[in-house]
Structure 1
């Protein structure tokens, strides 16, 4: 079976450096990690809370979409997500399936491509960093071109962070 190319969005605003680093390590344990965008800081949206750190990763998997969705949900639960978690709230680790191959539509409750790609800078900018020329299903413009449509009010800042070095340092202490 040929592997599926999947893009995941990750975010955290509760101990984000530790949770995102450990989350990436968990992702590597389950799937082939192809590439990791830079880390971006942005204000919480829809509630008052600490700033979020977000990034996008490309993975390859032989799992089906429902299997992948179940596994990402399980990882979120392992990191403290509760079933009654509000949409706009602080997170130890949030993992969103942004795309799954070229699928378009709603599959087992997962809408693809994920709509937030097109209107949230904290998703679109790191995604465009990984694959600027990518044109998603139902779109006519590349990810980098879509960035021009983002509201100027969405402030986002790239943060230099080496998650592997962080994990190595944490393991030494």
Structure 2
């Protein structure tokens, strides 16, 4: 079993329900269990600014799935939620799932880079990741808690 961290985001439709449904789907993956869930956070859009705020979260998984198999499972969960990948980056979406990090695994392929190359830049990832793994060291980037101190979290609020 490997520890994996998955980021979840949504800003179309019932975003809270999309994230909760995705967490249920992640827990149902074969040879996988959700071991921690962050709070949900309302965050301003990143990249394309003219769109609704996002809800974001992170889950920690224990999984036997290899990185590309996990990625394929995440893409299937997105499709089942109604996500259409039209090539637009950082735009509005029903559901976005990203593998952030897998313990002791480095991947640099056309389809997947691990650890995720933009973890250190994004408050919408670091805030929920800090909820589940503040002491996690992201190779080449630093400890989550330290990375969080370097990003602008203005406009990011936890939901109750």
How many residues are aligned here? 156
Q: State the SS of the aligned residue for 2:65.
A: coil
- The residue aligned with 2:7 is 9
Matches within 5 A, 1:94-133: 94-133=96-135
> Please, what TM-score do these two structures have when normalized by structure 1?
0.84
1:142-166 CA-to-partner distances (Å, cap 9, x unmatched) read 21111121136x4211111xxxxxx
Whose helix proportion is higher, 1 or 2?
1
Q: Displacement, 1:65? A: 1.1
1:32-86 deviations in Å (ceiling 9; x for gaps): 0000011111112213111100011000111111111111111111111223241
Over aligned residue pairs, what C-alpha RMSD do you find?
1.5
Unaligned runs of 5+ residues in structure 2 are none
Within 2, Cα distance between the matches of 1:94 and 1:83? 10
Larger Rg: 1
Contact 1:102 1:136 in 2 (8 A): no
1:42 lines up with 2:43 in the alignment: yes
Distance 1:155 1:115, change over 3 A: farther
Asked if 2 retains the 8 angstrom alpha-carbon contact of 1:66 and 1:108, the reply is no
Query: What is the CA deviation profile of residues 126-151 of structure 1, one whole-angstrom value per residue up to 9, with x for unaligned ones?
Result: 11121111111123x42111112113
- Cα deviation for residue 105 of structure 1 reads 4.1
> How high is the TM-score relative to the length of structure 2?
0.90
